[in-house]
Structure formats: C-alpha cells, structure tokens
Amino acid sequence: MTLKKHFAFSLLLLCQFIWAQKDSITSLKEVLVSDSNLKKYSASQTVLKLNDSVINKNEALLTDLLNFNSTIYFKEYGRGMLSTVAFRGTTSSQTAVIWNGININSQMNGSTDFNTISGADYNSVSVKAGGGSVIYGSGAVGGTVHLNNDLAFYNRFENNLKLDYGSFNTIGVNYKTNISNEKWSAQIGFSKNSSTNDYKYLNRYTWKGEQRWNQNGQYDVITMSANLGYKFNAKNSLKLYTQTSNTDRNTSLISESETKSKYVNGFNRNLLEYDGNYGKFTANFKTAYIFENYQYYADNSLNQYTYGKTESFITKADFGYTIFKSTQVNGILDYNRTKGFGSGFGNNTREISSTAILVKQDFSKDWKNEFGVRKEFTDNYKSPVLLNLGSSYQFGKLYNLKLNLSRNFRIPTFNDLYWEEGGNPDLKPESSYQAEIGNVFTFKNISLTQTVYYIKITDLLRWVPGKNGIWIPQNTDKVNSYGAETLLSWKKQYGKNYFGANATYAYTVSKNEETDKQLFFVPFSKVTAAVSYSRSRISAYYQFLYNGFVYTQADNDPNQIVDPYTVSNIGIDYDFKLLSSFKLGFQVLNLWNENYESLENRPMPGRNFNMYLNLKF
Amino acid sequence: MKLTRLFLLAISVSLFVSCSNDDDDNTPKGAYDNGIFILNEGNSSGGSVSFASDDLSNFTADVYKTVNNGDFAGVYLQNIFFDGDKAYIIAGGSNVIDVVNRYTFKLIAKVETGLVNPRYGVAKDGKAYVTNANSFSSVTDDYIAIIDLATNKFESKIELNATANRILLENGKLYITEPYSNDKLLVVNPATKALETPLTIGYSGDTMEAKDGILYILRSPSATSSEIIKVKLADKSASKITIPQAQGRAGYLDVYNDKIYYTVNASTYAINVNATTAATTPIATTTLSANGYIYGFAVNNDKIFVSDGGDFGSNSKAFIYNLSGSLQKELTVGVGPNGFYFNN
C-alpha cells in the first residue's frame, strides 16, 4: 500500500523538477582537475559523478548524499553517528575514499566514517564502482569514493553561502569563495554542521511508558579548506590543497541508563602538486602530509580518554609518455611513511614504497584499452602484484560495452597489526580478484548503465575471540560476491521546463565461501530514485531510497535482521534573483514518517524539516 | 492503546500468578517455570535469554524479547540472580538490571541508577548486592551496589578499594573474586557493610561454589597450573588441588551432590569433594566451534551444562550431558552464552 502511494507520488512529480547540472559554463573554461587519473583510467569502469547541484540538494553529511544517490549501502549508528559502508558486498575498509587523488582511509581502522565529511567542501563527489588498487592502493576493492576540488583559471570572484536550519536544531553553515584569473586560482571554504539531534523515536517507549528519544546524539563537524593553484605557463602549474577538520560527537545511547560517551576526531591534509606538460612527456609530482587523530571518552563526565594518531608522509612521482598518438604510458613511483601512536597500539612506523605502470591505448575513437600493474614493497606484509585490465568498445551511438578485470587488496591497519593486546604482526593483506561487464546504453536523453560483477576475496581479516577474552585478527575468511548494478538517468527540456530523473538499483550477493551465508550488513537489494523539475526560478525534487533487509549475524538467523525500509525526501526552492542567485528552500525529510533503523536498536528520525538559504554573489 | 494493552496484560498476569499461588507446588507458575534460563551475553547490539524446559523438550530462543515485545534487555548480559518470584538480569554494558517475574519473564521494573558496569549479584533479606566494575581503568574503584528489592531502587554502596567480579552469599557473608587484578578473596559483611580481612588466594581466582562450610574457588593463571582452592569458612584455612598444567588452563567450577565438576579447555572433569588430587581423565569433551571456548558451565538436575562462547557474531550452542558425560542434547541458543540459571 505504501509502495503504491510512493509510486503515485513519483508519477505526480515526474511531470515536474530540477535541472541536475547547470555548471556547463565553467566546464568551457580551463579547469585543472585534482585527480587526472580518475578520468584517464576509468574508461572500462563506471563513474557516477555528483556535482554541486546534487550535493546542495542533500543533507550536509556525505552519508545522505551517497545513500540517496548511489548503490553504496550505509550502516549508521543513528543519525549523524558513525557511518560505514558496504560497496558491492565488501566490508567497510574495502571502499577507499580518495581526496584529490590521495587515499584517506584511516590508517588505524582502515575505513572512513562518512558522517565526518561534508559534501559541500568539494566541487564534486564521484563514485567509482569496482577495483582500483593499482591506482589508489589499499581498500579500493568494492569501489572508490572521490572527493575532488577542481581549480578553474579564468577571471572570477564568486562567493557561495548556504545556511541551513532544520529540525533537532540542525544548523549548517557552508561558505565557499573562488577567486581566480588566468594565472591564479584560489578556493577557500568553511563548513560547520551541527545538531542537538534529540529526535523522538517513533512509537518507542521506555518500560515506564515514557517517549524514547535520541539521547547523547549531539554532533558538530567543522571543516576548513584552502586550495590554491598557480600556472607558470601553459606547461607548468603548481597546486596546493589543504584541509583541516574536527568532528566532535557524542555517541547516542541504545538504552537510557548507559554511560554517556563521546568521540572526537579530526584530520589535517596537505597536498602539494606540480604538473608539467612537455609535449609527449608529462610529469606530476605530489607530496602530501596527512594527519588523523581521535579521542574516545568512555565517560563524558570524566576527562579520561583513549586516543590514536597517525601521521603520513606521501610522495608520488608520475611520469607520462605518449608513445604513439593512441598509446600513453604512465610510470608511477610512490613512497609512504606512516607513524602511528596511540593508547591502543603504542608507537609504530610503517614504510611502503610502490611502483606502477599504467598503459592506455585507444585503438580507435570507439575502442579503448587500459592496463595497469602495481607492486608494493614493505617489511610489514607480503604484498601481491596488483593488476588492472580493461577495455571499452562503443558500438555505434547506442551501446558501449565495458570489460574490466582487476586484482586488488586491503592492507592490515595499525589496529590489526599492533593492537595491545591481540594485534597480529603476521597478517597478510586481504586480496581480491574482480571481473565486471558493463553495458552502457545511451538513447537521446536517457542513459542506462548495467553492470554485472564477480569478486573473489581471500584472506579476509576477522577479529576472532581467543582464550582469556583476547581477540586476535586473523586472515580467516573467503568471500564470493556477485551482483548487478543499474544506473539510469534521464533529462529533458520542454520549453522552459527542465525535467530530470535518476535511479540506481543494486542487487548484491556476498557469501562466505565456507558457510555459504550472506555477509552480515550487506543487503540483497537497494534502490534509489530521484526526480526533479525546474522552471525559471522554481525548482523541486523528490528522492526515494529503499534498503532491503540485512542480517545482523554471521549465521543468518532470520530473527536477527534489520528490517527493510523506504525513506523519501521532498524539497522545493525559489530563486529571488537578488544577488547572482538568492535561493530560499524548504525540505521535508522522511516525508512518509517511516519508522526505521539502519542498525538494530538505533532508530532514525521520523518526518523532519529543513530550510535553507543559498546565496551566490 | 499500547499502554492500556500493557495494563490489561499486567492485570491478567497478576491474576494468573495469584491464582496459581493457590495451586499445589507442582503446577507451573508460568510458561518458564521448571526449566533452565541460558543467558546469552550478546555483543554490542544486545543480549538475550534462552529457555529450555527441565526435560529439554521445550525451547525458546529469546524469552525476554518474546514476552516483553519491544523492550531492550540491554548490552552484555552478565548474570541472572533470583529472589522470591523474581529474576534479576544484569546488563553490564547498559548499567541496568531488568527485574522480571521468574515464571512469566514479564518485565516488572528496571534498576537504572547506582550501577556502573555491573557484574554479578546476590539477594539477601530484601536487598540485592551487585558488584560493579565501575571504570575499567581503575583497580580501586569497584563497589557493591545495594539495591532495595521492594522499591527496585539503588540504596547505597560498599566501596571495595579493589576489583570485584563474581559474588557469592554463604552463611550471611559475601565472598568476591576478580580474576584480572585481584589476588584476594574479598569478604564483606552485608549487615555491617564492612569489609572483613580478605584471604590471599593468588591471581586469576574466578568461579566459586560453597557447600557444607567449604568454599571452592577455581583459579586459572595463564603461566602456572590451575588450582581448586578449598577454603574452610569457619577458620579461613585453605588447601588446594593442583590441576596438571599439561591438561591446560581451567575454566569453570561447580559443586553438585558430592562432586566438584570443573572444566579444562574443552573438557569437563569431576572429582569427589574430599579428593586431594585432580582428575586424570575427563568425563566429557565438548566439540566446540572453530575459535570457540567454554563460556558457561553449570551442573544441576543431574545434568552437566556447557556452553560454547562461539564467535560472538552468530548464535552459539549449549551442550547438555548426563552426569556420566554422555551428550543428551545440543541447543542452538543466542550470541555468547555465558551462564545457566535454574528455575525450579
């Protein structure tokens, strides 16, 4: 019945909506992208790019953006709390998050918490499905999420301010300025997203009959970024990206009497990049310093905490050579030194160097091939030879066939190796083989991408209980994951009316080879859909998410599941055209007041509201 | 609507209970009379309680959830103790004690204050004495929370200035062990709330059982041989039985009839209460899961109950043997089964 309601509503809105991408103006100007390999070496895979107009329509934190717009599954410990992913049925540390070309997954736990990242800090967020370890290193197994800041070189002085105010005292301040001419380009941004987050749990009462609500769920995420580019001439340019962030969060309670705890984490990232382009030769040097830390207060009322910090120093040299017009080769050398220290894992340093060769060959405009190989060298573990092999063939205008094979890995983290007690220095990296076939159909305004994949993962790390209550990580499990992903997008203009629709569907089977059971917290199906309409000053959209049930236990006990849920959002905004743009918007989130949880005993909010002001000047 | 339904249920339950009181003793006082509760510690998403009838013919995987639909028992269920017609479930990770009717398992109240990482409890004269680990980083802040069982409210605490875990009541005294940071058997007089002179037994003292004025404590250090320590409570004189180190590290102990039953690795051994040496051959060896180890143990009703801790991410198993060690039943219970409690 509810599905019917959603369907009817979608139809209603199908006759309306927002033009997804209005940034065609900037794309005409010269833009230096931060991660050139993303475009260059992804012809045989699928990249879903979400630009700022999509980013602005979603809630601030990255979880919402990707949950409603991609096939990635999210597990959230309550609204705004720890949020981890499963992509193509893999684990949370098998999706790599890439910031301007640099892998930023935590060195301590291997994963990224998507509720510590605000989407508006980037020009675009791209989701690349499938293996990418040859280019992006550890964790690029299920896929990669790319956070990119692109610098444009033309005369402009633009400011963008977005102010949000919503239910549960949710406040968002996002400011970005772009100052550039043909030589210089600067982008400075600030974002602050906070909430008291004290929402009521729908239809849940304590044993005394009192309404339950989300206690101790406050969060505050602050990020500052500054990116600077300088073009010496047409051949040489220098770019500097910096970002600092702090997330101060309490951890919401699952029962009222629990001890209240809090988790504070932050990062500082700096990347200096030189680009040289000398005809057949190209050179790209990167040097980066990445710092991450956390403090966990088991009891808010006490000033006692456990902590961990890592500092990574990365240098990378990438030399390109065009052998023939059709064939380009890149040779990459990479050195990474990470120092970690913390209350849980002492003081350790890890050094990894690697070398990689990437080849891109375009037999014709329609037939493109890519090949990559990478090998890492380190004392810490035995590293497999990583591979990537892909081909893309365009049959006429209508159909594009893509094939990709890759070998990827995920290295053990500082926690896995050095945790006291239990850390296991003898671990191997998790390793995987992956094959995928992509079919892209393009017809007029419709684009349909259908991908099937198969992933075989061996040496999957799992912390297993040992005697004396000490848990030890071991390379125990083998997992076979296969499935299908469908991406659909459509846009059309009728006179002054712009319509758009996007949808994704993922079917995922991810089984432990030994037990033949589905991995816990991997849904068999997930659907997202969005329709949008805009006409001169008004734009509106409707979003829909269906998340299938997940098992919460490895034995797939049918009684231990998180129920499937369907969540919809609706939004509208009006541009008063006061400055160059002055939009006032209103959103209803969880429109149908669905009572749902993403993780057991951690209910998500019911219907709630947000209003925003988006100014460009 | 929900509240009125609850109220009606409460009335019907109380009617049922009061009616059944008029019947003779053998009539079950509720669906879960005459059986065994298996406490499943669970993981960070919560624990559960399983039930098996005495004859093992009826089994319910999650009694608490079945009866108290919608209520959350808590995280890391550690211990159950009984008083009168009530059962008290200690949820260590949630700082809560769920008070339920021991025959119907219907929730009556929750003790929600005065507890910080509560561990084990006993009841005496209308009061409960519950050990609390308090902050895990301190080895001096553990305490006993005293709870008034008439009001289910925290009343006061007895500071122990040491770590505390298992607690046992015998002859009006409380005896406490803690395996990680305490080499003493703590003795507390609940009447005066005073600590009496402790007895040094060595580190790694854990499970205890008292019978005929003797307290049996199992101690299992990691580097040296495990021991069964017998403390004569009248004069606190102690003797010990050494378990050969070659057998492995001991786990749990229980005393039933005239025998001491104890586990070493996956095996269960039995010796007479007045034996002076350890057993050489086990009476049963449990086939545990891949990384499993014995996590709960009890002997009662002429049966031996053993549980496998499992992987703490899947339902695990309980194994029931007769006293001569032949397997009677294998039950799939919840996550991390850590104890058996007999409702007779």
* B72 contacts A601? CB cut-off 8 A: yes
Query: Tell me, what's the pLDDT at B20?
Result: 43
* B6 contacts A601? CB cut-off 8 A: no
Query: Tell me, what's the pLDDT at B128?
Result: 98
Return the structure tokens found at A168: 């549960």
* B311 contacts A464? CB cut-off 8 A: yes
Which of B1, B78, B94 would you mutate first to test chain A, the one with the most A CBs within 10 A? Answer: B94
Closest by Cα among A296, A288, A394, A400 to A337: A288
Do the Cβ atoms of A108 and A308 come closer than 8 Å? yes
* Residue whose entry in the numeric block shows the structure tokens 């040992």: A466
What is the rounded average pLDDT for all residues in chain A?
Answer: 91
What are B288-295's contacts with CB under 8 Å, separation 24+? Answer: B289/B316, B289/B317, B290/A464, B291/A464, B291/A465, B291/A466, B292/A465, B292/B316, B293/A465, B293/A467, B293/B251, B293/B265, B293/B266, B294/B251, B294/B252, B294/B263, B294/B265, B294/B266, B295/B41, B295/B336, B295/B337, B295/B338
- Pairing state of beta strands B303-308 and A281-297? unpaired
Query: Tell me, what's the pLDDT at A357?
Result: 96
pLDDT per position as a tens digit, A83-128: 999 999 999 999 999 999 999 999 999 999 999 999 999 999 999 9
Return the structure tokens found at B231: 């403390």
* Three-state SS at A52: helix
Query: How many other CB atoms sit within 10 Å of the CB of residue A295?
Result: 17
Do the Cβ atoms of B311 and B292 come closer than 8 Å? yes
> Could you write out the three-class secondary structure of B145-173?
EEEECCCCEEEEEEECCCCCCEEEEECCE
* A257 contacts B112? CB cut-off 8 A: yes
**Mean pLDDT (whole number) for A166-189:** 95
Confidence check: pLDDT of A9 > 70: no
Which element (helix H / strand E) includes A62? helix A62-69
DSSP annotation of A104 reads -
Do the Cβ atoms of B192 and B178 come closer than 8 Å? no
What residues of chain B lie within 8 A of the CB of A465, using their CB? 291-293, 309, 311-312
Closest by Cα among A329, A379, A375, A370 to A355: A375
pLDDT per position as a tens digit, A263-312: 999 999 999 999 999 989 999 999 999 999 999 999 998 889 999 999 99
Closest CA in chain A for residue B336: A465
What residues of chain A lie within 8 A of the CB of B110, using their CB? 207, 257
Do the Cβ atoms of A504 and A488 come closer than 8 Å? yes
Which residue among B75, B110, B135 sits closest to A207, beta carbon to beta carbon? B110
Kindly report the nearest CA distance between residue B111 and chain A, in angstroms: 9
Q: Using CA atoms, how far apart are residues B319 and B326, in angstroms rounded to an integer?
A: 10
Do the Cβ atoms of A233 and A222 come closer than 8 Å? no
Which residue among B2, B45, B249 sits closest to A600, beta carbon to beta carbon? B45
Flag whether the ipTM exceeds 0.90: no
Cα separations in angstroms, B247 against A138, A173, B251, B278, B305 = 43, 65, 12, 10, 21
Kindly report the nearest CA distance between residue A293 and chain B, in angstroms: 21
pLDDT per position as a tens digit, B205-255: 999 999 999 999 999 998 999 999 999 999 999 999 999 999 999 999 999
Do the Cβ atoms of B297 and B275 come closer than 8 Å? no
**Mean pLDDT (whole number) for A535-556:** 95
* B112 contacts A256? CB cut-off 8 A: yes
Q: Using CA atoms, how far apart are residues B60 and B35, in angstroms rounded to an integer?
A: 11
What residues of chain A lie within 8 A of the CB of B45, using their CB? 254, 552, 599-601
Q: Using CA atoms, how far apart are residues A70 and A67, in angstroms rounded to an integer?
A: 6
Alpha carbon A190 to chain centroid, angstroms: 20
Identify residue A530 by its one-letter amino acid code: A
Query: Tell me, what's the pLDDT at A467?
Result: 67
Return the structure tokens found at B284: 């049963």
Strands (DSSP E) along A206-256, which ranges? 211-213, 219-231, 236-251
Residues 6+ apart with CB under 8 A from A37: A101, A135, A318, A330, A358
Confidence check: pLDDT of A1 > 50: no
B150 dihedral zone (left: phi>0; alpha: psi -120 to 50; beta): alpha
Do the Cβ atoms of A135 and A162 come closer than 8 Å? no
- pLDDT less than 70: residues of chain B: 1-26
Identify residue B334 by its one-letter amino acid code: G
Closest by Cα among A58, A67, A20 to A490: A20
* B72 contacts A254? CB cut-off 8 A: yes
Do the Cβ atoms of B294 and B308 come closer than 8 Å? yes
Please report the number of interchain residue pairs, chain A to chain B, with beta-carbon separation below 8 angstroms. 77
Q: Using CA atoms, how far apart are residues A127 and A54, in angstroms rounded to an integer?
A: 13
Q: How many CA atoms lie within 13 A of B270 on its CB side?
A: 18
- Pairing state of beta strands A538-547 and A565-575? antiparallel
Identify residue A311 by its one-letter amino acid code: E
What are B128-132's contacts with CB under 8 Å, separation 24+? Answer: B128/B81, B128/B83, B128/B88, B128/B97, B129/B158, B129/B167, B129/B169, B129/B174, B129/B188, B129/B190, B130/B90, B130/B97, B130/B167, B131/B164, B131/B165, B131/B166, B131/B167, B131/B176, B132/B157, B132/B164
* B6 contacts A209? CB cut-off 8 A: yes
What residues of chain A lie within 8 A of the CB of B165, using their CB? none
pLDDT per position as a tens digit, A454-494: 999 999 998 888 766 788 999 989 999 999 999 999 999 99
Query: Tell me, what's the pLDDT at B28?
Result: 81
Do the Cβ atoms of A473 and A466 come closer than 8 Å? no
Do the Cβ atoms of B323 and B25 come closer than 8 Å? no
| Number of residues that this document lists for chain B | 344
Query: Tell me, what's the pLDDT at B2?
Result: 46
Q: What angle do CA A224, A541, A191 make, to 5 degrees?
A: 10
Return the structure tokens found at A235: 């051949």
Do the Cβ atoms of B242 and B275 come closer than 8 Å? no
Dihedral over alpha carbons B8, B14, B17, B22 (to 10 degrees)? -120
Q: Using CA atoms, how far apart are residues A458 and A603, in angstroms rounded to an integer?
A: 34
Closest by Cα among B189, B218, B197 to B297: B218
What residues of chain A lie within 8 A of the CB of B6, using their CB? 209
Return the structure tokens found at A61: 């934190």
* Three-state SS at B324: coil
Do the Cβ atoms of B307 and B295 come closer than 8 Å? yes
Closest by Cα among A596, A520, A594, A526 to A558: A520
Q: Using CA atoms, how far apart are residues B249 and B57, in angstroms rounded to an integer?
A: 34
* A553 contacts B135? CB cut-off 8 A: no
Tell me the pLDDT band of A381, cut-offs 50, 70 and 90: confident
Cα separations in angstroms, A258 against A215, B74, B107, B113 = 10, 9, 19, 10
Could you tell me the sign of the dihedral formed by the alpha carbons of B144, B150, B153, B155, in that order?
negative
Q: Using CA atoms, how far apart are residues B225 and B177, in angstroms rounded to an integer?
A: 18
Return the structure tokens found at B185: 């058997």
**Least confident range of A137-151, A458-472, A593-607, B278-292:** A458-472
* Three-state SS at A57: helix
| Number of residues that this document lists for chain A | 617
Query: Tell me, what's the pLDDT at A306?
Result: 94
